[in-house]
Amino acid sequence: MNLHKITGKLAAFAAALILAACSPATADSKPTAQPGTTSTQAPATPTLHPISGLAVIPLTVTTANGPRVLKVELAASAEEQEHGLMFRTAMGPDEGMIFPMNPPRRAAFWMRNTVIGLDIIFIGPDHKVLNIAANAVPYDETPLPSAGAASGVLELNAGRAAQIGLRPGDLVTW
């Protein structure tokens, strides 16, 4: 990790500490609803994955079997997308990683330095599954392409797409 990245992370951490210190809430205080509102809940803080440090967000796949919510790591930056799930040795059954693509574009993924087998699901601009590269082989560098412009790519454990009934045309939202 270079000094620029370390400095940036330290600055972000310091900003978070300052914001927390300036907050009027204390450990004993409870949020109160403002007049005209119905919620007393504070906005949820995103969960960070313990290995990657990426935000973990809910992602819903809607198949013929109905909706299923998964917890996926959000690989938002070019650097996060380049690293993806490389070197990971395990992932939970309802976990995965989403790679948003803005603007949508044709994509191809490979399995360089990827230890676990994956299903690679290409998602179109309409949030429907374009195609699935099922059971991608660990370490294989053969490009696995999308069947059109993708607005996102979802990676799940190998065989998981078939287990949950995910097929081209199914809806994926995050």
DSSP string for residues in 16-32: HHHHHHH-S--TT----
> Residue 59 forms beta bridges with which residues?
70
- Cα distances from 100 to residues 64, 96, 123, in angstroms, run 24, 13, 9
Angle at alpha carbon of residue 80, lines to 78 and 83, rounded to 5°: 105
Q: What is the pTM of this model?
A: 0.75
Each residue's pLDDT expressed in tens, for the chain with a length of 174 residues: 443 333 344 344 433 333 333 333 333 333 344 444 444 565 567 799 999 999 999 999 999 999 999 999 999 999 999 999 999 999 999 999 999 999 999 999 999 999 999 999 999 999 999 999 999 999 999 999 999 999 999 999 999 999 999 999 999 999
Q: Which domain holds residue 88?
A: 45-173
In a domain, 29, yes or no: no
- Domains of the chain: total: 1
Q: Which amino acid would we find at residue 169?
A: G
Largest CA distance in the chain: 59
82 assigned to some structural domain = yes
- What CATH number corresponds to the domain at position 151? 2.60.120.1140
Q: How many helices (H) and strands (E) does the chain have?
A: 3, 10
Answer yes or no: is 40 within a domain. Answer: no
Domain for residue 148, yes or no? yes
pLDDT of residue 35: 42
Q: What is the pLDDT of residue 64?
A: 97
Alpha-carbon span 167 to 129, nearest angstrom = 7
Q: Is residue 163 part of a domain?
A: yes
Phi first, then psi: give them for residue 59, nearest 5 degrees. -135, 135
Residue 46 to residue 27: CA distance in whole angstroms: 19
User: Residue 100: inside a domain, yes or no?
Assistant: yes
- What local confidence, expressed as pLDDT, does residue 55 receive? 98
Distance from first CA to last CA of the chain, Å, rounded?
A: 30
Predicted local distance difference test score (pLDDT) of residue 46: 75
Q: Is 49 inside any structural domain? A: yes
E strand or H helix at 62, and its extent? strand 55-63
